[in-house]
Amino acid sequence: MLSGLSKLLDKAFILGFFLPALLGFTGFLAANADIPAFCELLNKATSDSEKVGGLFYFVIVVWVLSLILLVLNNWFYQVLEGYKWPFDREAWKREQRNRRKRQLDLIDRLRTELDTANSTIERLKDSKESAEYRTAESNRTTVRARLYRTQEQNARDFPRYENLVLSTAFGNTLRAFEGYSSEVYKVDSIFVWPRLLAVIPKDYQAAIADARAPVDFLVGLVVLGTFTFIFTLVRAIDMWLVEGLAGNCLLADLLRNAAIAAAIAAIAYRLAILAARSWGDVVKAAFDLYLPALAEQLGFVLPTSQAAQRKFWAAWNMQFRFHAPANTTGWTRVKPATPPVATQADGDETDAAGESDELRGG
């Protein structure tokens, strides 16, 4: 129980869930401070007269909200990725596919330009001191840098195959790095990841958690900012329908606060995409570094050739995903470690140690 409690006090939890709950709840109260209960709670947390008691209740509410964010974190991710309503729109998915296609078309065009630049440089190789050659070489450097940059962006922004494209940019960023292990090693990351975690050292697990925490933080801000926007906007619309627009300062304040909340949610969403790219780099590195250790933990030596490794992991992937036992014929098993053979000197040292313990009453 104490170990579980410590996880609710670690850096990843504080940054990923408690801090967005604190900021989001404070912003929600401030945006709707005209409601007496909200104003009273906000004043209790900030006033000097009731500082200790008010702050205690305020922190309790924030702590409970952070736990709710933790429990619903997976569901929030699925919504923002486009698996669930309201973002599972086919029209949005088509737009994401078109955006991916534009990137791929640009890559093809840059490759053509690079080939043309290479041909020009080859044609002018006998006149390397000419201005035309230097211009062609500079152009090739520019085109090649842009090509590599666009290829890297495409690999981070979208999955390799069109049928895997989701309806949101956030979802495609996550799916891009989730598909890395399958494309390179024939390993389905969803089913292999729990097993891989068992062989990843604690310090690297901490690095993964640290890389994910900013994404959780920004997702929490998106959720709470969106909730504040909807709540405040509904109140503004209700006030407009009841009282009209003329001379209502509170209505203007509510509309302004709703706009600020929407802007915060939109900015947090864009930043979440950037943070997810960095998180994905750490996750991809985990497969590169620790798949051999997983193979050894499964009892086999990982083959040396890339083709054989892909066959090896494809077989395990079938077992992990479909419960179909892997065919281990032809694989080299890990030799069990043999205990060291005790020598006569070791025996003498052991006897001496035993006598010494007896002398001390051990």
Give me the helix-helix angle, 19-31 and 36-46, nearest 10°.
Answer: 130
The pairs formed by 184-188 with CB atoms below 8 angstroms and a separation of 24 or more are: 184/287, 185/287, 185/291, 185/309, 185/310, 185/313, 186/310, 186/311, 186/313, 186/314, 186/317, 187/287, 187/291, 187/313, 187/316, 187/317, 188/317, 188/320, 188/321
Distances (CA, A) of 204 to 1, 13, 272, 283, 328: 24, 17, 22, 10, 30
Average pLDDT, the chain: 88
- Residue 316, both tokens: 């395990």
Return the domain boundaries, the chain.
Answer: 10-82+187-296, 90-166
- Between 177 and 361, name the one with better pLDDT: 177
Question: pLDDT value at position 242?
Answer: 80
**pLDDT digit string (tens) for 99-119?**
999 999 999 999 999 999 999
Question: pLDDT value at position 344?
Answer: 55
**pLDDT digit string (tens) for 206-215?**
999 999 999 9
pTM of the model: 0.86
User: Distance between CA atoms of 184 and 314, rounded to whole angstroms?
Assistant: 11
pLDDT band at 1 (very low <50, low <70, confident <90, very high): very low
Question: pLDDT value at position 302?
Answer: 92
Give me the helix-helix angle, 249-297 and 169-178, nearest 10°.
Answer: 10
Question: pLDDT value at position 3?
Answer: 41
pLDDT band at 248 (very low <50, low <70, confident <90, very high): confident
